[in-house]
Amino acid sequence: MNSADGLRELIARHGIRDGSEEARRLFAYLALLEKWNEGVNLTASTEWSWLAKLFEEAIWASSLYPLARVTHMDIGSGAGFPAVPMRILHPAMRLCLVESRAKRAVFLETVIKELCLGDTEVVCLRAEEYLRSHSLPQFDIVSWKGLKLRTEALDGLLASSKPETRLWLFHGKALPLEDAGAALKYLRLVQREHFPGRPNWQLSVYGFLATCFT
């Protein structure tokens, strides 16, 4: 099965209407991934057998996403999974993609432009540098996958958070934190969901303890 047919089948299964603006943007995103991956190592493969799990994870996570307008920072965005498809499916999201690798940042900027994704920006810096050197909004949601967040970055997140801020961690058996033991002393688990069909892959949603803000 080619990727376009696979994506068409996937969005139909998840109730996304073929021909809708959301579907159009998902297909445009897929086309950009296939085009850019020839020169930039965005994903390990553009075969649908590989991309399917990335798109499905993002669509699944979107079903858990709040409907209200939120400010969202995604750290280590890479090729844009899962944040870009989630942004496509939630137009009210204000998204900041933090990606330190220049070529991938340029790809993400191209995606934003080609898909006309408003309220979306790319920051080409390491997370801890961005958090340390900029005056930031208080994010409602911060997400990451495929990396272990350094303690310095987590400390910076706390300074840019509010009691309602939620950390969305996409991970396997181990939490994606440089020092999970230390981090869990001021984090509380709010929700944990297992990805359907992949029992060892999960989304853990954490908040900071109230004592962090006193």
Q: Where are the domains of the chain?
A: 3-213
In this predicted structure, the answer to whether residue 30 has a pLDDT above a threshold of 80 is yes
Taking residues 22-44, report their average pLDDT.
Answer: 94
Q: How confident is the model at residue 60 (pLDDT cuts 50, 70, 90)?
A: very high
Q: Give yes or no for residue 133 having a pLDDT over 90.
A: no
pTM of the model: 0.95
Write out pLDDT tens, residues 90-127: 999 999 999 999 999 999 999 999 999 999 999 999 99
CATH: 3.40.50.970, 3.40.50.1820, 3.40.50.720, 3.40.50.150. Which one for 3-213?
3.40.50.150
Instruction: Locate all alpha helices (DSSP H) within the chain, ordered by sequence.
Output: 3-13, 21-36, 48-62, 83-89, 102-115, 127-133, 151-159, 180-183
Centre a 10 Å sphere on the Cβ of residue 181 and count the other Cβ atoms it contains.
Answer: 8
Is the per-residue pLDDT at 159 higher than 80? Answer: yes
Contact 42, 107 (CB under 8 A): yes
Q: What are phi and psi of 15, to 5 degrees?
A: 75, 20
* pLDDT tens, position by position, 160-181: 899 999 999 999 999 999 999 9
Per-residue confidence (pLDDT) for residue 160, from 0 to 100: 84
b/e per residue, 122-142, with b = 16+ CB within 10 A?
Answer: bbbbbbbebbeeeebeebbbb
**58-64: average pLDDT:** 96
Residue 1 pLDDT > 90, yes or no? no
pLDDT of residue 137: 77
DSSP type of residue 197: T
